[in-house]
Amino acid sequence: MRYLPLTDADRADMLAAIGVGAIDDLFVDIPADKRVDGTLDLPSHRSELAVEAALKRLAAKNVPADTVPFFVGAGAYKHHVPSTVDHLIQRSEFLTSYTPYQPEVSQGTLQVLFEFQTQVAELTGMEVANASMYDGSTAAAEAVLMANRVTKRRKAIVAGGVHPHYRDVIKTVVGMADDELVCMEPDPAGTEYIAAEIDEDTACIVVQSPSFFGHLLDLKPLAEAAHAKGALLVAVFTEVVALAAIEPPGAQGADIVVGEGQSLGNPLTFGGPYVGLFATRQKFLRQMPGRLCGETVDADGKRGYVLTLSTREQHIRRDKATSNICTNSGLCALAFSIHATLLGGTGLMRLAAVNHAQTVKLVERLESVRGVEVLTDTFFNEITLRVDRNAAALVDDLAEHGVLAGVPVSRLLPGTEFDDLLILAVTECVSDDDIKALCTALSEAL
Amino acid sequence: MVKRFTQDHEWLDIDGHVATVGITNYAQIQLGDVVFVELPEVGKTLAKGDEAAVVESVKAASEVYAPVSGEVIEVNTALPDAPDMVNKEPEEGGWFVKIRFEDEAEVANLMDETGYQTFLDTL
Amino acid sequence: MMNANGRPTRAEESSRSANDDVSTFTGNAALDIEEPLIFEIGRTEATGVDLPEPAAVAPRLGKHARRAPLSLPGLTEPETMRHYVRLSRQNYAIDLGVYPLGSCTMKHNPRLNEKMARLPGFADVHPLQPAQTSEGAVALMAELSHWLMELTGMAAVALSPKAGAHGELCGMMAIKAALSARGETRSKVLVPESAHGTNPATAALLGYKVEAIPAREDGTVDVEAVKARLDSDVAAIMLTNPNTCGLFERDVAEIAEAVHAVGAYFYGDGANFNAIMGKVRPGDLGIDAMHINLHKTFSTPHGGGGPGAGPVVLSERLAPFAPLPYLRLEDGKPVLVEHASDTEDGAKPFGRMCAFHGQMGMYVRALSYMMSHGADGLRQAAEDAVLSANYLKARLGDVMTVAYPERPAMHEVLFKDDFLDETGVTTLDFAKAMIDEGFHPMTMYFPLVVHGAMLVEPTESESRANLDLFVATLRDLAMAASRGDTGRFKAAPRHAPRRRLDETGAARHPVLRWTKPEPRPIEPVEAAE
């Protein structure tokens, strides 16, 4: 048992020191008739070699993104993560430390969080950001609850361009909290006609840009329409790299900005763990959920950092807390922050430009593919196609030929209405050869 | 002007039908360094026992309950920017709200200074 | 006294104490190196990533293109490495020493877990790529589910919650959905005073009124107090077992029976499942829903505050309400059910907890740990954790005040601050002095049911020698406090990267991000008369 340092002799000694005869004397409070007798239907301990072999067998049944032309996005993106990132996040002091509740011996984590908060605020164009949330979708749900608190209203409107999973998470949380929610019909055309729906009861509108379908939206008129009725604009994104190419939501009047930070520093990992980003205006700070790190000084007057404003949180406010949230996504936030530092402002803008250029190239090439119509007019690195056959079947066909050609919209919006729509994402990992392979495969399959 | 106290460690300076409300020196010592105070809007009507304000230290948050029913006619606008007033002058400059109340019976049962001191001795 | 190699052998001959007053030019102290913020050392145009020139294309960003450049600092690769390595050295970690945070379970994090989670077949797989290209990932989720259900004796598991509190929310949502399916709305949730703050926060988020249940003299929940509060308006009880005082709630079966008798549900907070895995199954105790913190019980790293993972096991009665996505066997093969429209008869998923399928990276790590330990090893780990906690209790009980001496501790032992009465030393001071001794403090001031709480959880990962040094240190500190040596406590920590920090100032004037310093005003030239 390689993870257990106590020997049988230690155990016997320790039992004697405690003054009991057997280990089960310490478990006497468990009702005798309820204890596990005999063994469970589970295997016994195994060597590192054996476990590794078993898990590798499972891993081998999956197709890694790196091994094929890969265009799958819709909320999670295949980007190249510099090797420095993964090395640094495996430093024992980052990997195996707890939440920095003892700031004197947690300055490393705390300074990283302070830097992270500043990076997120700058990227989103907002004044303050928290130390991260579970993921983009849960951050979006928290944003709606926060908007209800700020406006003292209870109705949210979710735009048709919001990622369907995000919409469903909001719906679940808001519904369970007995608040009101209006969800607009999915909007593959990118018209986003939400403004007319806002009324005096509306706490917020939730709008995504780039949208689930890839459209870029002008948030400014939406912010104005919301503010005119005393409502807030919650701006959502799933591809954080886009913020280096487009006008940040903060500059367009958003009140709360939430999104997914996975694209920087974090691998796909079949959907998690990821890192939710959450930023807002200074004036709403007290209603913001999640951990916050702040600057201060120590007893010698040296600059240092602490978790602060924690009276908002569950461990103090209990049933009056702003959220039940108890954790952030610390290590993923660290990965995000390191990757952003390695890129720098200019580098991140260049990364965004490379993503966009490759996407434009794909769109140009698709013009010569029969049976394909590109629905997205302005976009960053993600587009929606209408194809001449069932998109899910098409994707399956192409997978047979070693091309992972994107996400059929029906995977997230089941039914027949959108079954000819396909969403493709293009990052710096997509080569010109990959684009060619996709277009050739599409031409053959359509 | 008479001064009265509640078992929630609030004090009231009663001037006719206006009560100035704050938290006692004992309460501020229990809380520790006050870092944030949230006050109600002027004009708000409170029933006795409603949450009138929130006072927070680094590690604790407490509600201040309205000791009488009535309308909030003034709040201490200096407090949000200088919450340490609650620690420095809890029973003077660190007041929270002024409430115009109607029902004199609500203040009749409150403790006076000696009564509050006796109450503290039982804690 | 010098030894043959000319090195000092006695502490007072080293120059350490004399050095305390000498400041260095840099402000550094050998290996303790001060590190500025990236905003103070980085440059917008510096980069550690070589990117190609973007192809010359006609942009399609329309009028949405960014107007101002992105003002984020960059560092080259060597500078980046140094920045973060230096920061890392200002953190305590389990890999450095004993980290006895009660109820947080800081156990060893095996590196096999990390290696397995990074296999491209897990790390480089997209949650929405075609099902036939990710069968291994789904199979892993099914395997993990089997372990969790078998260890807990429960009928189903919702894997997707992303942390313990998220799991609580999921379990309580399942309860609310089940009540609503019965056509009932109930308004109250019972929560013991000793509960984690997340319990009342979760119940309140779902619109429930929280009713506190007082503890008995011995630190466990009073079954009569529960019964007195149970009626047809109670939706659920939320109970941690073992509880946050480190005690097993021995009336748990009777509580479950009473709760079920009024049609309510039993939510078990599984934060402390590590104490009982392989010893007793929550399903056999009448629990209807329980989250499991993979980052506590199953060794996935805490990462300085997440990511966690909080799968929820569900009883037969709650299983139909499990959120999307969930696993179903089709022709003996596990598949993910992602939509309400795909559910079979009887399933009524209450909604969705997060985008995609949950914390896959944590599933791999947890399964790697479970397979390594096996059923026998997990049971042994629980026994060693409980043994170690009781050993600390036995060895420290005469100098520190055990809060509940009469019952055996489970995986953690709770002390209260009576032994510090009249010493002028507080629980906080005591904890800070532990930092100087090279230990991470225990959980302080939690649970709220005893004064000056100190909750110590050694876990199964400490050797006998580590436990004995920990005991000797705490005994020494307790005796120092009782003989009035307050200097050792009040100024502590002295040897950490920072002394005590001004949390009041941080909260009164929050500075939550770096801002460019104002340029210094130009000194006005004195006007001539």
pLDDT digits (tens, 9 = 90+) for B61-95: 888 899 999 999 999 999 988 999 999 999 999 99
Q: Is the same domain home to A258 and A309?
A: yes
Among A285, A315, A339, identify where a domain stops.
Answer: A339
Q: Is the same domain home to A350 and A335?
A: no
Among A287, A309, A339, identify where a domain stops.
Answer: A339
Asked, for residue A190, whether it belongs to a domain, the answer is yes
pLDDT for the residue numbered A424 = 98
Asked, for residue A29, whether it belongs to a domain, the answer is no
- Put simply, the answer to whether A3 touches C108 (Cβ < 8 Å) is yes
Q: How far apart are CA C465 and CA B53, in angstroms?
A: 53
Q: Is the same domain home to A301 and A410?
A: no
Contacts of B38 in chain A (CB under 8 A): 286
Whose tokens are 């390594």? That residue is: C372
Establish if A287 touches chain C: CB-CB under 8 angstroms. Answer: no
CB < 8 Å from B in window 485-514 of C: 503-504, 507-508
Burial class (CB in 10 A: 0-12, 13-18, 19+), A328: buried
Cα-based distances in Å from C253 to A30, C233, C266, C287, C290: 10, 21, 11, 9, 15
Mean pLDDT calculated for residue range C116-134: 98
Q: Residue B122: is its pLDDT beyond 70?
A: yes
What number of helices (H) and strands (E) belong to chain A?
12, 13
**In three state form, how does the secondary structure of chain B look?**
CEEEECCCCEEEEEECCEEEEEECHHHHHHHCCEEEEECCCCCCEECCCCEEEEEEECCCEEEEECCCCEEEEEECCCCCCCCCHHHHCCCCCCCCEEEEECCCHHHHCCECHHHHHHHHHCC
- Put simply, the answer to whether C504 touches B36 (Cβ < 8 Å) is no
The domain in which residue A139 lies consists of 83-339
- Put simply, the answer to whether C504 touches B59 (Cβ < 8 Å) is no
Phi, psi of C481 (to 5 degrees): -65, -40
Task: Give percent of chain C with pLDDT exceeding 90.
Answer: 86
CB < 8 Å from C in window 51-80 of A: 51-52, 54-67, 70, 72, 74-76, 78
Asked, for residue A376, whether it belongs to a domain, the answer is yes
Number of domains in chain A: 2
Nearest to C48 among A20, A82, A299 (CB): A82
Q: To the nearest whole angstrom, how far is the Cα of C328 from the nearest Cα of chain B?
A: 46
Average pLDDT over all residues of chain C: 93
Asked, for residue A297, whether it belongs to a domain, the answer is yes
pLDDT tens for each residue of C298-325: 999 999 999 999 999 999 999 999 999 9
Q: Are B65 and B52 in contact (CB under 8 A)?
A: yes
Q: Residue C524: is its pLDDT beyond 70?
A: no
CATH number (domain holding residue A383)? 3.90.1150.10
Flag the least confident range among A192-201, C81-90, C143-152: A192-201
pLDDT for the residue numbered A331 = 98
- Put simply, the answer to whether C507 touches B58 (Cβ < 8 Å) is yes
Other CB atoms within a 10 A radius of the CB of residue C4 amount to: 5
Closest CA to B48 of B123, B102, B115, B116: B102
Q: Note down pLDDT in tens along chain A; length 446 residues.
A: 899 999 999 999 999 999 999 999 999 999 999 999 877 899 999 999 999 999 999 999 999 999 999 999 999 999 999 999 999 999 999 999 999 999 999 999 999 999 999 999 999 999 999 999 999 999 999 999 999 999 999 999 999 999 999 999 999 999 988 899 999 999 999 887 898 999 999 999 999 999 999 999 999 999 999 999 999 999 999 999 999 999 999 999 999 999 999 999 999 999 999 999 999 999 999 899 999 999 999 999 999 999 998 877 666 666 666 667 767 899 999 999 999 999 999 999 999 999 999 999 999 999 999 999 999 999 999 999 999 999 999 999 999 999 999 999 999 999 889 999 999 999 999 999 999 999 999 999 99
Q: Is the same domain home to A103 and A148?
A: yes
pLDDT tens for each residue of C28-78: 999 999 999 999 999 999 999 999 999 999 999 999 999 999 999 999 999
Task: Give percent of chain C with pLDDT exceeding 70.
Answer: 94
Q: Which helix (H) or strand (E) holds A257?
A: strand A256-260
Q: Where are the beta strands (DSSP E) in A263-328?
A: 276-280, 293-297, 303-307
Q: Which residue in A44, A62, A112 has the most chain C C-beta atoms within 10 A of its own C-beta, making it the best mutation to test that interface?
A: A62
Scanning every residue of chain A, which has its alpha carbon at the shortest distance from the alpha carbon of C112? A48
Asked, for residue A104, whether it belongs to a domain, the answer is yes
Q: Which residue in C35, C498, C504, C508 has the most chain A C-beta atoms within 10 A of its own C-beta, making it the best mutation to test that interface?
A: C498
Burial class (CB in 10 A: 0-12, 13-18, 19+), C221: buried
Q: Residue C11: is its pLDDT beyond 70?
A: no
Hey, what are C475's tokens?
């005994």
Asked, for residue A278, whether it belongs to a domain, the answer is yes
Phi, psi of C387 (to 5 degrees): -60, -45
Q: How confident is the model at residue B107 (pLDDT cuts 50, 70, 90)?
A: confident
pLDDT for the residue numbered C17 = 44
Please tell me the pTM assigned to this model. Answer: 0.95
Q: Is the same domain home to A275 and A359?
A: no
Mean pLDDT calculated for residue range C8-29: 59
Cβ within 8 Å of residue A317, ≥6 positions away: A311, B61, C197, C201
Asked, for residue A40, whether it belongs to a domain, the answer is no
- Put simply, the answer to whether C504 touches B33 (Cβ < 8 Å) is yes
- Put simply, the answer to whether A316 touches B38 (Cβ < 8 Å) is no
Q: Are A31 and C251 in contact (CB under 8 A)?
A: no
Q: Is the same domain home to A222 and A366?
A: no
Establish if B114 touches chain C: CB-CB under 8 angstroms. Answer: no
Q: How confident is the model at residue C15 (pLDDT cuts 50, 70, 90)?
A: very low
Nearest to A317 among B35, B38, B61 (CB): B61
Mean pLDDT calculated for residue range C98-122: 97
Q: Is the same domain home to A293 and A347?
A: no
Reported ipTM: the value is 0.97
Please give the DSSP secondary-structure letter assigned to residue A25.
G
- Put simply, the answer to whether C304 touches A109 (Cβ < 8 Å) is yes
Establish if B58 touches chain C: CB-CB under 8 angstroms. Answer: yes
Q: Residue C2: is its pLDDT beyond 50?
A: no
Asked, for residue A430, whether it belongs to a domain, the answer is yes
Contacting partners of chain B (3+ CB pairs under 8 A): A, C
CATH number (domain holding residue A309)? 3.40.640.10
Q: Which residue in A101, A149, A311, A320 has the most chain B C-beta atoms within 10 A of its own C-beta, making it the best mutation to test that interface?
A: A311
Q: Is the same domain home to A108 and A237?
A: yes
Cβ within 8 Å of residue A169, ≥6 positions away: A137, A138, A140, A141, C351, C352, C353, C354, C355
Hey, what are A310's tokens?
């924690």
Q: Residue C5: is its pLDDT beyond 60?
A: no
pLDDT for the residue numbered A318 = 60
Contacts of B56 in chain A (CB under 8 A): 311
Q: Is the same domain home to A72 and A196?
A: no
Other CB atoms within a 10 A radius of the CB of residue A327 amount to: 27
Mean pLDDT calculated for residue range C339-361: 93
Contacts of C431 in chain B (CB under 8 A): none
Nearest to B36 among C445, C503, C507 (CB): C507
pLDDT tens for each residue of B11-50: 999 999 999 999 999 999 888 899 999 899 999 999 999 9
Hey, what are A244's tokens?
């280096």
Q: How far apart are CA A119 and CA C492, in angstroms?
A: 33
Mean pLDDT calculated for residue range C343-351: 89
Strand partners, C443: C455
Q: Is the same domain home to A187 and A322?
A: yes
Q: Is the same domain home to A349 and A298?
A: no
- Put simply, the answer to whether C387 touches A17 (Cβ < 8 Å) is no
Among A313, A339, A365, identify where a domain stops.
Answer: A339
Contacts of B60 in chain C (CB under 8 A): none
Strands A155-158 and A128-129 come out as: unpaired
Q: Is the same domain home to A380 and A437?
A: yes
